[in-house]
Amino acid sequence: MSTPVIYIVFPFVLSLLLYFLQKRTRLIIAIGITASILLMLFAFLQNFGAVWKIGPISIEIKTTLAIFGRSFTLGNQDKFFLAFVYFFAALWFGGTHIAQISSRFIPFGFAIIAVLTAALAVEPFLYSAILVEIAILVSIPLLLTPGNPPGRGVLRFIVYQSLAMPLILFGGWLLGGIQASPSDTARLLQAVLFLGIGFALWLAIFPFQSWIPQLTMDIHPFVSGFILGMFPIVTMLIMLDFISGLVWLRESQYLQPVLTLVGTIMVVSTGVWAAIEKDGRRLLGYAVLLESGLAILAVSLQSQISVMTLFVSFFPRMAALALMALSLSIFINNGTIPDMYHLSGMIRKFPFASSGLIVSLLSVVGFPLLGAFPVRLALLEQLAVLNPIIAVWVLLGLVTFLYSVLRLLMQISKPESEGWLRGETIGQIIFLVIGILVLISIGVFPNFFSGQISSLFLNLPILR
Amino acid sequence: MDHWINILPILILSAACIFIFITNDWRRILIAYLVIYISAFVIIAQYWSFTFSLVKLITGLMSLVVMGISINRYYTVHEKKVKSELVFRLIALCLIFILVAFMVYSISNYLSIALEIVLAALLLIGFGIFQLGITHEPYKIFLAILVLFFGFELIFSANESSLLVNGLLAVVTMLIALMGSYMIINEFETGDE
């Protein structure tokens, strides 16, 4: 038995089995949640590479699987990713029924996670590009509604993400050729340029970010939360592995200024766009872009603490995204378009969903005592030491985003009707309250939270 | 060029690209894509092993068939293009082809790949990117992605002969066609989410 079999082959086979059980919704959800929790616990508790002894039988948990001469490796350094991904998969699969979306979300979700895990595990790095492209193509059925033409955002998502594959493959191939003669700086620059544009397309980095708000407008918020939660994080981890693996790149004098500039532009431009935005679904897209910009800034700092901050920030990021997606889903499922006009006074009709939406957006901004506050504070402190001007610009981006959230809060809490109603179901309320409490607890007890998951951070990528 | 006769498939390939831009009939568009794949096959078969080239051709043709079956079932109405649109498309495509003609020699030298292959690949990549930029119809977008990837494969597979990479690229090509046809079918299906 090997970890790639457990985390790549098994979820993929399970996704195929669940696909044929689509009509049995409850069974699919139960299997989905149980399998995700078991896989998460296995990653959290089991030492990869250890031997299990059951009487006379001993089973070694190998970390490598070889296919056609290439290897898939999932060692102890990947435990963070695996535990994280399956924890949120369990949350998302659990919310399928609550958000009233098709049960095919679970088999496709498993297939996407399995292929993305394979992309992270494969050696050499070149193959990751093809596997991510396969994951993107597998996600297409989730983005479509029967009887409706695909929206422009969906088409752009496919085009932009697909364009990344040839660029990364070609850049990776050029880089492979250079290893024989590392002094060829011209070719080195070309390889980095191809790879840089490829990663920018994957991560929706400025100026390739326009499709994200369009996509969130076109598809169900619950699905967009899942897709925009998974893909940018996995591609970010692939990028970190890539930077960590090349000494000349991480020691390059250009890496830090380029990443800092791009990250700052992303944060500021996203803040400005969000400030004039009137639709909650598009705000979800801007929240993802803001998180990506801040993640790039964390990478640009190239220190062990900044990498740690980045990895810890994935938890409040996913929790806020899940809460935001669920809140928006509740509005949409009840026939309310989540824009400024229609959300007016909604706190009296959907008090929990309205609170969930506002709390999640405030958490993304880094509002005090909410989930992302400790990581935003840590990032700003480190940025201020490195370059105070950049820290001011980033703060400006966050403040403009906060303005947009406060505008939404004012609109949503208008006293348009008398008396209070409860538009959400009990199940939805439970999920929303848990989400809000999780974000508050991460914000109030950051050390307790990071202490619980510290065992997963033993082998982080080295950026300097 | 190693063989001047190769100018013929390249001219046919360019003509097919131009034809795709001036017509709106999906049957003719698919036939033009078929011509593109066959012309490129004629070129690569001279440099790569026959079986390897055949794999690329068959994968491409199969993806066209998969797309064609879905388009055949659902698309019937053709809109006529206005004259100014045609002129714009032709001029833009000609500019791309001129740009490719200027770049091809240096890229061929740089990558040490035969001029014919690089020229065919760059023409397809340029055509694919332009098509992706101006069209909104899902089936045209998927066909453009297919041809863009095929153009890229012509360059990439000339140097990277790994069985696994090329096998996975074939899987990607087939998946694009499958998802493209799924998208077309889904648009005309009735049912609730």
The pLDDT value recorded for residue A449 is 81
Q: Is B172's CB within 8 Å of A102's CB? A: no
Query: According to the model, what pLDDT value does residue B193 have?
Result: 45
pLDDT of residue B79: 66
pLDDT recorded at residue A123: 81
**pLDDT for B192 beyond 70:** no
- The ipTM assigned to this model is 0.91
Helix (H, G, I), strand (E, B) or coil at A70: strand
Interface mutation target, options A128, A140, A174, A197, chain B, most CBs of B under 10 Å: A140
To which residue do tokens 């790095």 refer?
A: A125
Cβ distance of A158 and B141 shorter than 8 Å: yes
> What are the beta bridge partners of residue A67?
A70
Chain B residues whose CB is inside 8 A of the A99 CB are none
Q: How confident is the model at residue B78 (pLDDT cuts 50, 70, 90)?
A: low
For the four alpha carbons of A126, A181, A246 and A158, in that order, the dihedral sign comes to negative
Q: Which of A108, A115, A127, A144 to probe the B interface (max B CBs under 10 A)? A: A144
Work out the angle between the directed axes of helices A426-444 and A304-333 (0-180°, nearest 10).
160
Mean pLDDT, chain B, integer: 87
> Are residues A166 and B164, on separate chains, in Cβ contact within 8 Å?
no
Instruction: Name the stretches of chain A with pLDDT < 50.
Output: none
Spatial contact of B139 and B67, defined as CB atoms under 8 Å apart? yes
Of the candidates B149, B141, B154, B150, the one whose C-alpha atom is nearest the C-alpha of residue B45 is B154
B175–A220 CB contact, under 8 Å? no
CB contact under 8 A, B179 and A140: yes
- Please state the φ and ψ torsions of residue A57, each to the nearest 5 degrees: -90, 135
pLDDT tens digits, B135-181: 888 889 999 999 999 999 988 888 777 788 888 899 999 999 999 99
Measured CA to CA, the distance from residue B59 to residue B51 in angstroms comes to: 12
Angle in degrees, CA B159, B165, B166, rounded to 5 = 75
SS3 state at A333: helix
DSSP three-state, residue A435:
helix
What is the distance between the alpha carbons of residues A255 and A260, in angstroms, rounded to a whole number? 9
Best of B122, B165, B171, B182 to mutate (most A CBs within 10 Å, chain A): B165
Predicted TM-score of the model (pTM): 0.92
| Residues pairing with A66 in the sheet | A71
A interface mutation test: which of B129, B135, B164 has the most A CBs within 10 A?
B164
Would the CB atoms of A159 and B145 count as touching at under 8 Å? yes
Q: Which residues of A touch B (CB under 8 A)?
A: 67-70, 101-102, 126-127, 130-131, 133-134, 137-138, 140-141, 144-150, 152, 155, 158-159, 162-163, 165-166, 169-170, 173, 220
Question: What pLDDT sits at residue A244?
Answer: 84
Question: Across the interface, do A141 and B179 touch by the CB < 8 Å criterion?
Answer: yes
Q: Contact at 8 Å (CB) between B153 and B38?
A: no
Count of CA atoms in the C-beta half-sphere (13 A) of B76: 3
Q: How many CB pairs under 8 A join A and B?
A: 87
The more confident residue out of B127 and A418 is B127
Comparing alpha-carbon positions, the chain A residue that sits nearest to B160 is A173
Of the candidates A120, A88, A409, the one whose C-alpha atom is nearest the C-alpha of residue A222 is: A88
Mean pLDDT of B187-192: 68
The predicted-structure confidence for B82-123, as pLDDT tens digits, reads as follows 788 888 888 988 899 899 989 988 988 888 888 889 999 999
Q: Letter for the amino acid at B116? A: E
The torsion angles phi and psi of A219, rounded to 5 degrees, stand at -120, 170
In contact, A142 and B185? CB cutoff 8 Å = no
Contacts of B137 in chain A (CB under 8 A): none
The string of DSSP letters for chain B reads ---GGGHHHHHHHHHHHHHHHH---HHHHHHHHHHHHHHHHHHHTTTS-HHHHHHHHHHHHHHHHHHHHHHHHH----PPPPHHHHHHHHHHHHHHHHHHHHHHHHHHHHHT--HHHHHHHHHHHHHHHHHHHH---HHHHHHHHHHHHHHHHHHHHHH---HHHHHHHHHHHHHHHHHHHHHHHHHH-----
